[in-house]
Structure 1
Amino acid sequence: MPALFEDKKRDRTSPKKAGEDDFAFYDSSARKPFALYRQLVNGWLAEFPQTEQADLVKRLRGGSNVQYQATMAEIVVHAALRRLGHNVEIHPFCPHPTRRPDFLVKDANGGPLAFVEVTTFGPDLETVGRDNREAAIYNALETVKLPAGWLMGYSVEKHGKSSPSLGKLRSEVEAWGAQECGDNVQHMPSRIFDATDWKIELTLHGGYDKEKLYERKIAAAMSGVRSVAPHLDLRQALEIKGQRYRISETPYLIVVADCKGSIPVGDHVADALIDALFGSPCVHFRRRPDGGFDTENDRTNDGYWGRHGAPRNRNVSAVVIFPEPNLWKLRDERWQPLIAYNPFEANPLSRGLLPLPGYDLDSEAEYVRKGGTQLADILELPAAWPPDD
């Protein structure tokens, strides 16, 4: 079976473009971090049965970036389980007559330890289409001709639904730049360009090195603010997969990868996990006899696992959230994959199956944050990751 990344000469050193295909970039870059990345991924793929490798390679090469990241999440989880010494069966039989989860982890005697399903949440098709159209606009503006020493700031004021004429937009921006850019580098003219139903605000910034040839003309960019609710995305993914295979008598672990960029800041990974499982945070106000108010922090009763006295989905033994399936932040403390064990689990999952940091009951039956082994260490990634370029 041929490797995903072939052994060939590569000479590209430029960074990834907005909207560029993940596989195309990783396959073309000659920089050291991506050479090591290709080596790792090829090695992990080779650990799958040959009958599975062809499908994985097809998905990685021919799908969208979301599909690439989703497939990588499966490969990474498989690699981690194997490095922990587990026997892993691919697409095993399960209680459902036709559906197959991703993995069945077995002990040394072939006995089942847990079913493992790797799933994702990603952007909807409308958002993907919009982002692809914006990427084309952004990349076109990156290559406009500006007077020496001048670059641009970029902001989308209104996202359109059409694909505007990029040649016309470039010409308008170049004419504007030629007119506005002068010797006064404190002068920062801005203008909103109408490109069919898009509105793009550009600001000219002077004072850059006039002797340097800048490949990219956008010095700063803002693409607008998205409404994100990662706990809702995670909860929806669990609702889809929790009962899909009718698993009820064997431990069941669901790994959910964020392919949407739904978690805006790494420090929010834990919040997204807990809010999805045990309910959204809320505050109750109670009026006292004297007319004042007392407040009490609580959670709404919409958590995937419910609450004490009213548990739900007890068949799902644990959940892992994988916030950045592209691997590059696995040494960043803020972006660590976390595991949460179900305090109401019907089928206890071995704590050594995938011993990530996360949440579990302590000896006093309190649900607390616990340490574990980072995924980067399980995968045996270099201590300096990403590696120096």
Structure 2
Amino acid sequence: MSSAFRILCVVGARPNFMKMAPIMAALSALRPHVDVKLVHTGQHYDVAMNHQYFEALGIPSPDINLEVGSGSHAQQTAEVMKKFEPALDEVQPTAVLVVGDVNSTIACALVAAKKGVPVIHVEAGLRSFDRAMPEEINRVLTDQISDLLFTTEESGEENLLREGVAAHRIQFVGNVMIDTLVRNLPRAIPAATIVADAGRPGLADGAQGYAVLTLHRPSNVDDPAVLRTLLETAAAIARRTPVIFPLHPRTRGMIEKAGLNHLVEGPNVLLLPPMGYLEMLGLMKQARVVLTDSGGIQEETTALGVPCITLRNNTERPITVEQGTNTIAGQDPARILAIYEEVMGGGGEAGRVPRFWDGQAAVRIAAALQAWMQNGCQTS
């Protein structure tokens, strides 16, 4: 293996950080044969939050920060591409490794592919089959231009084969998000500490436990009528079970804009700022139920064995429903409340931890990359 082999890893948004942390750690074991560089596009640009995540997860400081910031999907994708190309030319990597499905993922993969640099996609093949989701477009296109595709569940390979991706380019390695969860679970911040620090000691201690709510997807928060319905449903749940609601900045802004603050101001609702990874892990770990529109949280709750109610009409992570603790509820209040009652009455979906969600996915990725490098970066 050449000592000149260099992998340029890309993160852009906080979900990427949880996926990249174990990959960086596993690749570091291949030194000195492999030189690993990290670029942060700055798609999520809250400096304090980014630092908090990097520190908590043990991710080294980025070698390059593109500081792209916010914008429309087109603006953000274009800006990442413009700023990533000089970074690619500077680093001269043998391959570019991207994770997930955010704008930075497709933008950096496109730049690399057009310059003839092999692209490695971690978390490939996930499909919601909903082209209205920007992330779905990012997933499909990134997979089509990737040279090596690592999947988290068996359905990923089925999707890729159906879309014409050659089988020898696909490897089922498991879920790196769960690597991070397994590693950090002993360090999770207890819910009692979080609510006490927020001035509401004892809120999480009742016989009913507590629910965690997260909302951030445009389909849920950009339409005031939909947002109102979901918040009214959460308020109904809060009359029986305290609801802890870490507020995404986008969601907070839309609540204020729509004049819906009164729906989240009840005595049994605790609004929190965006949580760090260890805090969010602690909240989920001890929750009676989690209501969310986040794909990553669907996976994490399955790994934790905590019932999850997904406030979407579909999921790109079907294994969390087929084998895990996740139930798709959509935006219908009656269905959401019925699933909640089922959870409170009988525990909800029992679930089991899927194959290769064992904390060793990144180790399998590093081994596969080592073999790939020894084969001259050929998959066949």
TM-score, with normalisation over the residues of structure 1? 0.24
Between Structure 1 and Structure 2, which shows a larger proportion of strand residues?
A: 1
Structure ID, larger Rg: 1
